[in-house]
Structure 1
Amino acid sequence: MSNLSEASTAALDVEALRRDFPILSQQVNGKPLVYLDNGASAQKPVAVLDAMDRYYREMHANVHRGAHTLGDRATAAFEGARETVRRFLNAASTREIIWTRGTTEAINLVANGLAPRLREGDEILVSRMEHHANIVPWQMVAERTGARVVPIELTAEGELDMDAFRQRLGDRTRVLAIAHVSNVLGTINPVAELIAEARALGVVTVIDGAQAVPHFRPDVQALDCDFYAFSSHKMFGPTGIGVLYGKEALLEAMPPYQGGGEMIERVSFERTTWNQLPYKFEAGTPAIAEAVGLGAAIDYLDRLDRTALAAAEDALLARANALVDTVPGMEIIGTARRKVPVLSFKIAGLHPSDIGTLLDQQGIAIRTGHHCAMPLMDFYAVPGTARASFAFYNTLDEVEQLFAGLRKIQRLFA
């Protein structure tokens, strides 16, 4: 059971939080694990592990069609998790909450669903900071329809160039697809403003929330976005499941993404009719235990003081920024005014992959490479970066260990 089973309004007790995450107590290469790869995938609290274990031990069965007790239990847990997600996003209805395998599948679903609305010469706006998952699906649809993908440029600091956005937004724009938070830069984009300006021209808005939901709760009705996608595993839930929020009218108008069981109302060789929302987009047996785990992850976060969590993450990033000057030749990529705790960097004379390998030998886990954002790497004229991404269970001492590790590596190559 979680050590923080009751709501906390006191100062954040990071050591108590860390006890909720068993994996953090291990050693790697003979050193205590310092896990700073949370932007790729966050670790899981006991509350999530227990919820999934309890599902498999006490209620596993297929959902919706079983005429027996276990089927009823599984369906109640599965649909209960959907309601938890609805509440988390402040969606109007569970009909607007579609289970997917993750953000990537969610964006592919939207892109394919909107394809019939696109014509030759139409434009799809995406930013240069997007993850490949919010570029490639649009390129594939553009190739089929004759539409074209138009990039929105950035400032040197890694912020969206709002003047460039307004110049690109026009009569030909049909879709705006943009990240709420950049996975490389940590930049928090002004999505409410972007959505409002796009909506004034009738443009459909698609928000990639994968990097936002671990750090704050989005309100889809306040944002007034048409679609919002995120993945469970980045917000302390299991892998293999994600969520697509979509406005009900748009989802109703879109064709199914996949065919098979569950997404049908009636099948004959003459004609097949589709099931109602949200099941029209959920072909086949779903990831039931994973949905339960995601619901448990959201419940876990809801028991915590989110203001205290955000303050702790801000302190981690502030300490990291303050230590940059202690590593000669270190340069931060992305210095936006509003950021989540992500530090992408390069060090003169060192390849990012060497930095990652040598830090791992010290028990420190970071991410290196292009981070599925090659157009962004081209913008900064680098092959890749090293990236440390922090979560609320990280400590100021771990930030110090990261920079001590970097200085040690630098001495090796001096």
Structure 2
Amino acid sequence: MNAQPTPPTVFDVQRVRADFPLLTRSVHGKPLVYFDNANTSQKPASVIEAMDEHYRRHNANVARAVHQLGEESTAAYEGARDKLARFINAPSRDELILTSGTTQSINLVAYSYALPGLKSGDTILTTVMEHHANIVPWQLVAARSGATVKAAPIDERGELDVEQYIAMLTPEVKLACVAHVSNVLGTVNPVREIARECRKRGIPLLVDGSQAVPHRPVDVQALGCDFYAVTGHKMLGPTGTGALWAKREHLEAMPPFFGGGDMIREVRFNGTTFADVPHKFEAGTPNIAGFVGLSAAIDYYDSLGFEAIHTWEQQLLAYATERLREVPGLRIFGEAAQKEPVISFLLEGAQASDMATLLDLQGVAVRSGHHCAHPLMQFYGVPATLRASLAFYNTREEIDAFVVALLKVRKLLM
């Protein structure tokens, strides 16, 4: 007798929601509908409790004491490095620099890797859809060195013109950059293909992974990039946490970006010797409790599994897109074939900030503004959009409530 196939597991979103204390609150007398996850995600109780437990029972500085509390704190902090390295499949834990987030990570690459080797005539290549964190640091180091920053174009659907990006990988390009997932459009960029073309030309590739790691498994070895940056507070963890993964050959050659305690072997006035990677890039007391919380966040992702998360989020994205198309005069920005659950939109004749304020009065939290992506707004010819960004703890019922609120706002503004 043939064995029967195992039925697919149903994603129990209500059970998941019970793990997130903030989702139970009301705003302006309405049940909260939190659709600002690309800005920052909510935190499960396990993350909050892990940080509370650290401060109550283990609080001490890392790598500076041999007493019991110091050893416990160091073990927890370094344990977070181990989990993050596994989470993105880094070849070695020592290639993972713990930072305050993607912004610090990219600035580290800009000032420690790019700037020392840049000269007049060199180019840094990025794209029109990037977050300011993947534009402004390059402009700053370009201004110091005489280099230039160029941006590969996108099309109206919000998809990167990959052929043009590759064509722009000329010998003048000393570093290429791209978002894994756009924070405004949700577009998933073909990082593996881009990395392959960069390797052919000997051009290192930096990937902004802030919007990818909350939604999909990331394997930096399979991607083939040189640098990959992540932000903890977008992936269920605390603010002020994140990491930069970089190939060891780059880290070994890069000088320290910050100076201070714990990044040295010996300090003398006639010269200082620095610690080995990753510690030579981690000066000062880090956000220890934050990384304890981030470690718990990774455990939470592991408990659900990205297959279940991705399937549910894609269902939510499809449903939300369908419902929003029912709203008269609504324009969606970015309809790439490969998307994560981010929808930017506008209502004809309405200001994004006015809409966001009125939606908030209905208990719906969305983001309005340029989303730290001015060049992208300029491409679409708008000053701002609204952005509804979903997470696996959101529901179809919340999407329905969002659309009802949006229709009410439309009546008020039209």
Alpha-carbon distance, 1:10 to partner = 2.5
Rounded to whole Å, the distance in 1 between the matches of 2:61 and 2:409 is: 52
Task: Report the secondary structure of 2:201's partner residue.
Answer: coil
Aligned partner of 1:172 in structure 2 is 172
In the alignment, structure 1 residue 323 sits paired with structure 2 residue 326: no
| SS, match of residue 71 in structure 1 | helix
RMSD: 1.1
Give the aligned partner of residue 265 of structure 2: 265
SS of alignment partner, residue 343 of structure 1: strand
Alignment TM-score, normalising by the size of structure 2: 0.97
Q: Is this contact kept in 1: 2:217–2:306, CA < 8 A?
A: no
Q: CA shift at 1:217, angstroms? A: 1.7
Amino acid at match of 1:193: E
Tell me the amino acid that sits aligned with residue 97 of structure 2: I
What do the CA deviations read for 1:351-402 (whole angstroms, capped 9, x no partner)? 0001100000000000000000000000000000000000000000111111
Q: Which residue of 1 aligns with 2:88?
A: 89
Superposition deviation, residue 232 in structure 1: 0.3
Query: In structure 2, what is the equivalent of residue 202 of structure 1?
Result: 202
Which residue of structure 1 aligns with residue 357 of structure 2? Answer: 357
What is residue 105 of structure 1 aligned with on the other side? 104
Q: Distance in 2 between matches of 1:324 and 1:41?
A: 23
Shift of 1:249: 1.1
For 2:166 and 2:200, the matched residues in 1 are separated by: 12
Alpha-carbon separation, structure 2, partners of 1:103 and 1:325:
33
Segments of 4+ moved more than 2 angstroms: none
How big is each residue's C-alpha offset from its partner over 1:224-264, in whole Å with a ceiling of 9 and x where there is no partner? 11110011000000001110001111001001001110111
CA distance in structure 1 between the partners assigned to 2:165 and 2:148 by the alignment: 16
Three-state SS of the structure 2 residue aligned to 1:243 is strand
Q: Distance in 2 between matches of 1:205 and 1:326?
A: 40
Trace 1:326-345 onto structure 2 (pairs within 5 A): 326-345=326-345
Match of 1:239 in 2: 239
Report deviation, 1:305: 3.0
Q: Give the counterpart letter for 2:395 in structure 1.
A: T
Which amino acid in the other structure matches residue 210 of structure 1?
Answer: S
Q: Which amino acid aligns with 1:215?
A: H
Q: Which ranges in structure 2 are unaligned for 5 or more consecutive residues?
A: 1-7
Q: What TM-score do you get using the length of structure 1 for normalisation?
A: 0.97
Q: CA deviation at 1:46?
A: 0.7
Asked if the contact 2:166–2:194 (Cα under 8 Å) also holds between the matched residues in 1, the reply is no
Instruction: Give the Cα separation in 1 of the matches to 2:226 and 2:169.
Output: 17
Once the two structures are TM-superposed, the CA of residue 325 in structure 1 deviates from its matched residue by 2.9
Unaligned runs of 5+ in 1: 1-8
Residue correspondence of structure 1 range 151-230 to structure 2 within 5 A: 151-230=151-230
Q: Is the 8 A contact 2:355 2:409 kept in 1?
A: yes
Deviation for aligned residue 1:64: 1.0
Shift of 1:163: 2.2
Report the counterpart of residue 51 of structure 1 in structure 2: 50
Which segment is superposed worse, 300-309 or 388-397? 300-309
Distance (Å, rounded) in 2 between the aligned partners of 1:206 and 1:199:
12
Secondary structure at the counterpart of residue 325 of structure 2: helix
SS of equivalent residue, structure 2 residue 176: strand
Partner of 1:135: 135
CA distance in 1, matches of 2:51, 2:277: 26
Alpha-carbon distance in 2 for matches of 1:305, 1:143: 44
Partner of 2:4: none
The answer to whether structure 1 residue 27 and structure 2 residue 26 are counterparts is: yes
Return the alpha-carbon distance in structure 2 between the equivalents of residues 358 and 233 of structure 1: 26
Distance 2:76 2:15 in 1: 28
CA distance in 1, matches of 2:196, 2:89: 18
Letter in 2 for 1:330: L
